[in-house]
Amino acid sequence: MKAVSTAIGYPYIGENREWKRYVEAFWKKDLSEADFALKMKELRLKQVKHQQSLGMDLVTTGDFTLYDRMLDVSTMFGMVPDRYGWQGGRVDVSTYYAMARGTADAVASEMTKWFNTNYHYIVPEYDGKTLQLTENYLLTHFEEAKNELGIITKPTLIGPYTFVQLTKGYDKTSKAAFVLQLISLYAAVIQQLADAGAEWIQLEEPAFAQSLDAEDVKLIQEIYKQLAQEAPEARLMLQTYFQALSAYGELSKLPVAGIGLDFVHGAEENMESLRTDGFPQDKVLGIGIVNGRDVWRADLAEKAEAIKAVLSLSDAQEVWIQSSCSLQHVPVTTQSETQLEPVLKNALAFADEKIVELTQLCAYAREGQWSGNKSVSESMEAIEALKQHEVRKNERVKKLVSEVKEEHFSRPMPFKERQSVQKQALQLPDFPTTTIGSFPQSAEVKRTRKAWRQSKMTNEEYAEFVRKETARWIRIQEEIGLDVFVHGEFERTDMVEYFGEKLTGFAFTEKAWVVSYGSRCVKPPIIYGDVEWTAPMTLKEVAEAQALTSKYVKGMLTGPVTILNWSFVRDDLSREQVANQIALALKEEVQALEQAGIAIIQVDEPALREGLPLRKEQWNDYLAWGVNAFKLATSGVKNETQIHTHMCYCEFNDFIEPIRALDADVISIETSRSHGELIDSLKQHPYELGIGLGVYDIHSPRVPDIEEIDTILNDSLAVISTEQFWVNPDCGLKTRGEEETVASLKNMVEAAKKLRRQKQPV
């Protein structure tokens, strides 16, 4: 039997975030376009060569991007909205980044989560124009590796069905024309790659793991039938991931040369499909066996047994031993980490280590035995050592979790009654204005934090700097005229990392970066032990800020499910169990804030939706414990205490019931890039609790004018009553500049005041 080791994709940011530095230098005009292109090419080739040096048999290209791979496909096919002024031909890099980030004259394209991950993609917009192949960047990347390194790679491309499903702008009458154009363009790209010598071309179809009805299946069959007819010589590897392949009986028969299945997140269902329907003997089977979404070392013995079971059920004659999904969701290498305790570090595997695991498992698949390889015993010993670590044996945490009762998941008074109590207690104006939490983290803030981290300044000196910066922004908020203030979060690097550093059970890395969106990279904490609150985490900074103003200053916490979903989570407990541990820790922090007189406490859950299984029929279990974790953290407060929350890029119309179930007094929604869609959704699905619709996009440097915000506010009044309505930006302002932030907030406040005047009785 033939076995090949490969990965669906590899992190493009570089071991030291070189990619981010080059991109941001280009944006700042510190790199010319020619130099930027050269740097990107050098980094691409370096990464291809590096993967081969680790023993990978088949290296992937096309997984590298200048911002986002969905945006790459959009621009490759000429899907550029009119507002960017594109006149056809190759889409230049300035137009490309205008779509991603917006300009002074054009809002950015919408951005949303990539399935159930923390990565954000740029949503393609179809406006009915004739599509065209502007440039085959996949061919460029393939030929680079072939001509300069002598490596025949596997080009990868977001598959046509997934691209269609994630595109906005078409309706039932225009969909057929859109799909037909796309098929021809995909076929042209594929044929060019095959002509250039690509032996395999990978089409990524994670949407195949979603719920599919008969119409979906028919569309998929037609797309792939036509691709096979238009590019008959190309060998296509159809990759599915994040869950099991839906409609396996029909889709396993598609006219492709291979099918990749996820045997990590969809293991049970995919195994059952093999057991029931077998596997086509004319196809290569991609066995996604190493987890592309966690950081834990694989139990090689266990994985080998799983491979044996797959081989037995499928009887496949050729297999790819591969990652369950792209490795872009994990950091590059554990070799960069020098501060982790040895027991933990030895139990970790990042992208490079996972590639080594794939090569080891591939050798086993070929030979049917380990041939004296010590890697199996080493992996088992590392996993067992972490299992026995004292950080996983916290008896107080176990006791707290065992004592949770049903009444801990609800407020003592229903919302309408609480709303009246809070209105009397808080005395806020109509359409109260606030921000989401963070303010710009200037170069000085970052330099000072870095100096403190490097012990170049004392804790007292750093605390004094944070206090002064907070006081300065309290004054700025007074001048702007906001109604409810925040302290600005200058002491925080990341909204999850900050809390993890103050709770037990978390570990932190030096260079374990992953991309969240664009050039925004985060270092997710690693939850490896029991989570416990030991002392107030936010009280000092919030209380100091509150003492500087008569306006309310919100307590600012990150919610339990977001901390869970934005961390790499231990795999020896269920995610529900870990979420409850975090919720109980946050509950103690909420109580500490309330006891100190903080009347408004925001517990953000921007990641609640991203943890959803890909299929709606499997949502209920996750939502039941996810919502309960939030309520466990927030329900112990007085009726007068107002609980806020915030969500990012949420398809409101299919998520309104879970949002309502949170029972938060006020929710802010990140929707400025798709505001009209939310208004339409609220017309169909009224929402009764307090709500703030993000009135401008913080991911773009442009400053919205008063009239623009005024239009959004008046449109919103059609679906939100005055009693419910809060006015805020659509997300935190940490990544923005001070000048643009102040200008935007002043316009927002003026628009809210204008709305108050217009609503006053004559």
Q: What is the pLDDT of residue 648?
A: 73
**Reported confidence tier of residue 760, pLDDT bands at 50, 70, 90:** low
Question: Which whole number is the average pLDDT over 311-333?
Answer: 97
Q: What is the pLDDT of residue 369?
A: 82
Same domain, 321 and 417: no
Distant-in-sequence, close-in-space partners of 177: CB < 8 Å, separation ≥ 6: none
Same domain, 520 and 562: yes
**Reported confidence tier of residue 177, pLDDT bands at 50, 70, 90:** very high
**Ranges 12-16, 144-148, 155-159, 645-649: which has the least confidence:** 645-649
Same domain, 323 and 458: no
118 annotated as belonging to a binding site for a ligand: yes
CATH number, residue 11: 3.20.20.210
Q: What CA–CA distance (Å, rounded) separates 43 from 39?
A: 6
Q: What CA–CA distance (Å, rounded) separates 475 from 86?
A: 43
Q: What CA–CA distance (Å, rounded) separates 566 from 418?
A: 31
Residue written as token pair 């499928």:
314
**Reported confidence tier of residue 719, pLDDT bands at 50, 70, 90:** confident
Same domain, 50 and 82: yes
Question: Which whole number is the average pLDDT over 263-281?
Answer: 97
Residue 275 has pLDDT above 80, yes or no: yes
731 annotated as belonging to a binding site for a ligand: yes
**Reported confidence tier of residue 12, pLDDT bands at 50, 70, 90:** very high
Number of domains within the chain: 2
Q: What is the pLDDT of residue 715?
A: 87
Same domain, 520 and 599: yes
Give 13-51 pLDDT, tens digit per residue: 999 999 999 999 999 999 999 999 999 999 999 999 999
Same domain, 653 and 516: yes
**Reported confidence tier of residue 695, pLDDT bands at 50, 70, 90:** confident
646 annotated as belonging to a binding site for a ligand: yes
User: pTM score, two decimals?
Assistant: 0.89
Question: Which whole number is the average pLDDT over 445-467?
Answer: 93
Is residue 660 a part of any domain in this protein? yes
489 annotated as belonging to a binding site for a ligand: yes
Is residue 302 a part of any domain in this protein? yes
Highest mean pLDDT among 439-443, 559-563, 700-704: 559-563
Residue 651 has pLDDT above 70, yes or no: no
Q: At what angle do helices 300-314 and 375-387 cross, to 10 degrees?
A: 120
Residue 527 has pLDDT above 80, yes or no: yes
Q: What CA–CA distance (Å, rounded) separates 574 from 569?
A: 9
Q: What is the pLDDT of residue 649?
A: 52
Residue 678 has pLDDT above 90, yes or no: no
Same domain, 335 and 449: no
Is residue 395 a part of any domain in this protein? no
Is residue 396 a part of any domain in this protein? no
CA atoms within 13 A on the CB side of 426: 26
Distant-in-sequence, close-in-space partners of 707: CB < 8 Å, separation ≥ 6: none
610 annotated as belonging to a binding site for a ligand: yes
Which two structure tokens, joined as six digits, stand for 401?
Answer: 């979790």
Q: Indicate the residue among 326, 360, 390 that finishes a domain.
A: 390
Is residue 113 a part of any domain in this protein? yes
475 annotated as belonging to a binding site for a ligand: no
Distant-in-sequence, close-in-space partners of 75: CB < 8 Å, separation ≥ 6: 91, 95, 96, 99, 134
Same domain, 336 and 407: no
Same domain, 410 and 354: no
Q: How far is residue 432 from each of residues 676, 726, 741, 753, measured CA to CA in Å?
A: 22, 5, 18, 9
181: containing domain: 2-390
With 0-12 / 13-18 / 19 or more C-beta atoms within 10 angstroms meaning exposed / middle / buried, residue 37 is middle
Q: How far is residue 490 from each of residues 157, 322, 447, 485, 545, measured CA to CA in Å?
A: 40, 42, 12, 14, 12
Same domain, 181 and 327: yes
Q: What CA–CA distance (Å, rounded) separates 160 from 173?
A: 19
Say how many C-beta atoms besides its own lie within 10 A of residue 253's C-beta.
15
**Reported confidence tier of residue 595, pLDDT bands at 50, 70, 90:** very high
Q: Indicate the residue among 358, 390, 422 that finishes a domain.
A: 390
Q: What is the pLDDT of residue 761?
A: 57
325 annotated as belonging to a binding site for a ligand: no
Q: What CA–CA distance (Å, rounded) separates 22 from 66?
A: 10
Same domain, 331 and 407: no
Average pLDDT, the chain: 94
With 0-12 / 13-18 / 19 or more C-beta atoms within 10 angstroms meaning exposed / middle / buried, residue 384 is exposed
Same domain, 314 and 450: no
Q: What is the pLDDT of residue 762?
A: 44
- Residue 699 among the catalytic residues: yes
Q: Indicate the residue among 359, 390, 421 that finishes a domain.
A: 390
Active-site pick, 141, 265, 487, 699: 699
Q: What CA–CA distance (Å, rounded) separates 656 from 659?
A: 5
Is residue 494 a part of any domain in this protein? yes
Residue 453 has pLDDT above 60, yes or no: yes
Q: What CA–CA distance (Å, rounded) separates 498 from 227?
A: 49
Q: What is the pLDDT of residue 310?
A: 97
**Reported confidence tier of residue 671, pLDDT bands at 50, 70, 90:** low
756 annotated as belonging to a binding site for a ligand: no
